[in-house]
Chain A
């Protein structure tokens, strides 16, 4: 079964140009695979501007939970510690700070995994014979065979005309 076509470019600029050209031609189902972050790719394939806001919300949640924890436990078992006021808020700052950071850290990590669809057991592009190169020095573009515009010959010709080395990706 044919999964799609994998195109290898030797420079990120060529990859960006190719994504633009394919989008123009009406292709929708493709994935760029690169060894490191490529600037400008989010403009073409969409990025995620929500991360700072998710982190902020997690921070508010963490701070709230931490304050609740401290106030609740103090009121539940009131104890005079070295003459400080029962709800002496300055003494609550360190724990609130640490729990806020802890909540953001764990939460944003899980959010990243969720948004990226990880952990992932298998991915068709990984079956490309030369796949390892996109983790090394090549910039890959994987076009799914399920794309409505996909045509084995025409798509291959289009990618090659954009300066790519193309491989078919099939189930072994």
Chain B
């Protein structure tokens, strides 16, 4: 061992050997789960059933069961689509950008946040599907030769959106799977019976050949480099669905960075919401240290400040442009019937966010947990402000209509939350929530060199 300890020495705390570390990291998969896991699974499963029922109702009785109207033709479904996609982004950011920056603290967090991405993007992707009204025709968005001789319109952001989401889903799934392969091989060797078969198939017969590792690393870093611009592009494209429209409150060039910052903010907040209980229930304090949570809080603060800046900028643009409808929209947000939503958003994302400047708040896990939930509420409110408030009043006073979500809207929303929790709970039961091979490698780097 070197004289001076590695600067990241405290990223793994406690006395470990490779063996005990691996045992610890595989506990969620190999040992019976703690009681809260069963509660999460049960609640998530129930809500998933509610979700399926709401989808069934939507398909059988049509979109009339939703609260959408004219002019608010995009109601809760797009609010939640954007919300979920945003949540997905932190996973890819943690795993991809931090790989490129060689940040050692990502190793404890990347697996669970990538899984979070996967389920968040799946939850998001269902909304446009069921919003189509005729979901059986969803394949019309793909370029396939048809007897109508019609093709998708590639100058439309909606068509970009399809490809962006599909690419994003593919790259995050492959990235997650690639990272899992060595751990699956380890699990294969440590299990018996059907589990051994399952892990054997999934690990593709990975042996740990050193030459394979070289190629694997090269491809892993390459995919990280590719995933990074995809993340930014996905939410930028989503924002262009809005920015291309002439609706006051949408037609802004600042939307792409605005949405990207919001995505990182809500994604890191959701990651904190998941990781704080996970760490406590599985007693992972030694590998997910306070330093990890502190870093995540700092990233949340930085991206949240970007969001807060653009809120203030939006007010300035509306005023400075001298565009009467834009300014009327801004006043409608601040003083109209939806004003409580607007001010609640400002309270959380601008005012309460500032607490994260102070180490005593960042180090207080109770506050961090509460704030991470509040931040997601804040980002939900932001999507609500953008979608519903902007649409409810455009150019003509006679067009103004308020939006009232129905029980189906709410059931679909709670249902995706349930599906997300249910999926994650199953994931960490079957696959290790912390990347074992990466952690062992990190352990080796920190303790032996």
Chain A residues with CB under 8 Å of chain B are 11, 31-38, 41-42, 45-48, 51-52, 55, 69-70, 73-74, 76-77, 79, 81-82, 84, 88, 91-92, 94-95, 97-99, 101-102, 104-106, 108-109, 111-113, 115-116, 118-123, 125-126, 131-132, 134-137, 140
Contacts and interface: CB of A to CB of B under 8 A. Distances in A.
B17 A137 contact: yes
B31 interface: no
Contact of A120 (B22, B164, B166, B205): B205
B88 to A, nearest CB: 16
A95 B154 contact: yes
Given A37-B213, A48-B218, 15 more contacts: A31-B211, A35-B18, A35-B182, A48-B211, A51-B222, A70-B154, A73-B143, A92-B154, A94-B160, A98-B160, A98-B166, A105-B170, A119-B204, A136-B18, A136-B440
A72 to B, nearest CB: 8
B151 A73 contact: yes
A45 B212 CA distance: 11
Interface in B136-169: 143, 149-157, 159-160, 163-164, 166-167
A74 B155 CA distance: 9
Nearest to B215: A48
A105 B92 CA distance: 14
Contacts of A134: 208
B229 interface: yes
B217 to A, nearest CB: 5
A102 B167 contact: yes
Given A135-B208, A136-B440, A48 B170 contact: no
B174 interface: yes
A94 B402 CA distance: 34
A69 B143 contact: yes
Interface of B: 17-19, 22, 143, 149-157, 159-160, 163-164, 166-167, 170-171, 174, 178, 182, 185-186, 189-190, 204-219, 222-223, 226, 229-230, 233, 237, 240, 437-438, 440-441, 444, 448
A117 B210 CA distance: 13
Given A76-B149, A106-B170, A112 B215 contact: yes
A48 to B, nearest CB: 5
B235 to A, nearest CB: 12
Contacts of B17: 137
A34 B444 CA distance: 13
A111 B170 CA distance: 16
Contact of A41 (B155, B167, B182, B210): B210
A47 B190 CA distance: 29
B209 A116 contact: yes
A35 B440 contact: yes
A33 B214 contact: no
B89 to A, nearest CB: 16
Given A41-B214, A115-B215, A120-B204, A105 B153 contact: no
30 contacts: A31-B209, A31-B210, A32-B210, A33-B207, A33-B209, A37-B210, A41-B210, A47-B211, A48-B215, A51-B215, A51-B219, A52-B218, A52-B222, A69-B154, A70-B154, A73-B143, A76-B151, A81-B153, A95-B160, A97-B233, A99-B167, A101-B230, A102-B167, A102-B170, A104-B222, A109-B174, A111-B219, A118-B204, A122-B205, A135-B208
Contact of A136 (B22, B143, B159, B219): B22
Residue of A52, A69, A109 contacting most chain B CB atoms (<10 Å) = A109
Nearest to A12: B444
Contacts of B170: 102, 105-106
Nearest to B233: A97
Contact of B189 (A70, A82, A97, A131): A131
A81 B207 contact: no
Nearest to B210: A32
Query: Which 6 pairs show the lowest CB-CB distances between chains A and B?
Result: A120-B205, A137-B18, A73-B151, A32-B210, A36-B441, A119-B204
Nearest to B445: A36
Contacts of A136: 18-19, 22, 186, 440
A74 B210 contact: no
A126 B229 CA distance: 39
A15 B155 CA distance: 57
Contact of B207 (A94, A97, A120): A120
Contacts of B204: 113, 118-120
